[in-house]
Structure 1
């Protein structure tokens, strides 16, 4: 059940300023943020609800903030992003990012908070953020089940002539909900941009009896080339033992594995492309 919140003007219909101050001193009232109060301890959702109480009624969570609510918040951002119609003045509050829009949209409630619909949120981000970050958003949106490919394609038609629509349209055609992390999506895009075939995300490798044995981050089945991103989880001792056992089996069965780290991904993407091109040839 959502915590009840009151704006100052609502409290002053029944309480004097002195009584409000007295209750605050006794902690019978708690200030969630300036101008918004509650009688109970608040959580992060209450903080957002308190913020929305201070904003125009048309405000709704958007971009990174809405993506987190919809289940595909792969882009880190501590700011609160909201969307408003183009004719509504922009509020100026700390930690708030306002996006004006000329494309009308009805909010959906997610956990009691008004949000831009999932498909609109995904396409807005695909238009606005860097290309290397946009594909992970679309992949995660599909993986979360919040949208389908058809939803994204339909949403593209409402964004015609808007900035970044060409990037969004191209990346929607590449989006794949099988990708399980941001880095997998980014490596896949680097290879596609390097004019290599798109690798298969989360590809199962089968033994001679057709039983699925190991799953690779990315792979080219016909060429028996596998790709793995080594993040922090691979430093775990038990995980290392499992990885070595898996690598030995794959090597013995004709697979050529290639491993990449954050240094390769973010500092030398051309190395990834060259390494996989050589493995495929």
Structure 2
């Protein structure tokens, strides 16, 4: 349950300055941030609500901050990203990044917080972040159920004259809600940008009885080629033991596996393309 927050102007219409200070000293009131108080300690997103109370009317969370509330926060949120109408001056508050919107937007409430709509948020991020991070955002947006592909496509024309729209227009048709992590989406994008056949995300491999045994990050059914990202979670001893059993079973059942790490993703993407191209050949 959200804590009720009050601006100091509201409180001073009912209390004297001395009484206000006394209640704060007795912990009958709690200072959330400058100019905003609450009747109990903060919880959940109360500090963020307090910040929004300090901003001009029409402020709404956007970019990474809105994406996290919509359920597709795959990018780091080091600061609070807020959108304001273009005519409103930028307030200077610590930890706040203000974006002036060239497009009209009607905020929606998500968990009691005003946010730009999910489709607007996803396309804004797909326009402005680097390409390797943009597809993971779109994949996660579809996976979360906050937005559909048709809604993303319908949002694109509104951004036609804005910076980075070409990147967003290229990537929206490639987005796939079956991708389960950021690195998996990045791996798929490297493969696609290498002009290789599109791999299928989250392939189930069945045994001879038709029972599902293992699921692969990416793969090509026709030639039984699997492509996977190896992250830190695979270094756990129990996970490593299970991985070895899984690898042996897949090999025995005709599947050729190719594994890649963060070193491959971020430092030598051409190695990924060359390896998969050779395997497909």
Q: TM-score, normalised by structure 1?
A: 0.98
Structure 1 unmatched runs, 5+: none
Correspondences of 1:144-159 after superposition (within 5 Å): 144-159=144-159
The alignment covers a number of residue pairs equal to 281
Displacement of 1:261 in angstroms is: 1.0
Runs of 4+ in 1 over 3 A off after TM superposition: none
Partner of 1:194: 194
Q: TM-score, normalised by structure 2?
A: 0.98
Partner of 2:113: 113
Partner of 1:25: 25
In structure 2, C-alpha distance between the alignment counterparts of 1:207 and 1:222, rounded to whole Å: 16
Deviations 1:71-123 (A, max 9, x none): 00000122000111111111111111111112111111001000000011000
Partner of 1:208: 208
Partner of 1:134: 134
Partner of 2:8: 8
CA root-mean-square deviation: 0.9
Displacement of 1:226 in angstroms is: 0.5
Deviations 1:245-269 (A, max 9, x none): 1111111121110111111111111
Partner of 1:45: 45
Correspondences of 1:72-87 after superposition (within 5 Å): 72-87=72-87
Partner of 2:223: 223
In structure 1, C-alpha distance between the alignment counterparts of 2:149 and 2:6, rounded to whole Å: 41
SS at match of 1:218: strand
SS at match of 1:216: strand
Displacement of 1:160 in angstroms is: 1.4
Partner of 1:270: 270
Deviations 1:145-202 (A, max 9, x none): 0011001001112111111111001100100000000000000001111111111111
In structure 1, C-alpha distance between the alignment counterparts of 2:86 and 2:57, rounded to whole Å: 14
SS at match of 2:72: coil
SS at match of 2:251: helix
SS at match of 1:57: coil
Partner of 2:172: 172
Partner of 1:260: 260
64-73 or 26-35: bigger deviation: 26-35
Say whether the 8 Å CA contact 2:2–2:43 is kept in structure 1: no
